[in-house]
């Protein structure tokens, strides 16, 4: 190897290392900036793990947790929609356990009844149209992804076969047709 090539090789390697480090830093910066504020969940059919029924986007805002769920190819009708305590969708969604209920209160409709009279996961019902689509939106003060008394990250959205009739103990919404775990970005 010539002296010239040896002389060039070292600074070039330094420059490449620098570029690689910058790329890493730039790539990591937006993720670090956003960490903690948003989460996603994909709800899959409990009958077919390859069939997605909906996509949820969650964002912590100053007013509360902004929940937006777009359903596509979901079963028509009114379906109970909750956050359940578990972090698994196995066993046709049954591994997600019961309603997310850190306050150990009775079942209700969180949006109207608040945390004293509803489970923290009691999101009510979603009405899915003839075309299999729906948009569920809620802005829920007191829910968060990882902060506070009701952090929902790593818990499971469950879409039920039947409507939530808000009866005790869990709204009589039947089996679990969709399930997705809330994953923080």
* Interface ranges with Zn ion (CB under 5 A): 99, 107, 119, 122
- The partner in contact with residue 155, picked from Cu ion, Zn ion, none with C-beta cut-offs of 5 to 8 angstroms by kind, is none
Q: Which of 79, 82, 119, 155 binds Cu ion (CB under 5 A)?
A: 82
Non-local (6+) Cβ contacts of 111 within 8 A are: 123, 124, 138, 140
Q: What is the DSSP letter of 17?
A: H
User: Helix (H, G, I), strand (E, B), or coil: what is residue 76?
Assistant: coil
Q: What is the DSSP letter of 145?
A: S
Binding flag, residue 152, Cu ion (CB under 5 A): no
Binding flag, residue 118, Cu ion (CB under 5 A): no
- The partner in contact with residue 107, picked from Zn ion, Cu ion, none with C-beta cut-offs of 5 to 8 angstroms by kind, is Zn ion
For residue 2, how many other CB atoms are within 10 A of its CB?
7
Cα 116-176-58 angle, rounded to 5 deg: 60
- The partner in contact with residue 122, picked from Cu ion, Zn ion, none with C-beta cut-offs of 5 to 8 angstroms by kind, is Zn ion
Q: Least distance in Å: CB of 34 to Cu ion? A: 29
Which residues sit at the interface with Cu ion, rule CB under 5 A?
82, 158
């Amino acid at each position: 190897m010539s002296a010239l090539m040896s002389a060039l090789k070292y600074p070039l390697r330094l420059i490449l290392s620098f570029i690689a480090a910058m790329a890493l830093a730039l790539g990591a910066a937006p993720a670090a900036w956003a960490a903690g504020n948003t989460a996603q969940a994909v709800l899959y059919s409990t009958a077919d793990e390859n069939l997605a029924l909906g996509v949820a986007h969650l964002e912590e805002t100053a007013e509360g947790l902004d929940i937006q769920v777009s359903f596509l190819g979901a079963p028509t009708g009114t379906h109970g929609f909750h956050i359940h305590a578990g972090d698994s969708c196995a066993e046709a969604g049954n591994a997600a356990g019961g309603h997310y209920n850190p306050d150990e209160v009775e079942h209700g409709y969180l949006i109207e009844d608040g945390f004293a009279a509803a489970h923290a996961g009691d999101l009510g019902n979603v009405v899915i149209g003839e075309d299999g689509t729906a948009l569920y939106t809620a802005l829920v003060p007191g829910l968060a992804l990882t902060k506070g008394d009701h952090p929902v990250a790593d818990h499971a959205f469950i879409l039920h076969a039947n409507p939530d009739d808000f009866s005790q103990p869990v709204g009589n919404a039947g089996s679990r047709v969709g399930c997705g775990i809330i994953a923080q970005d």
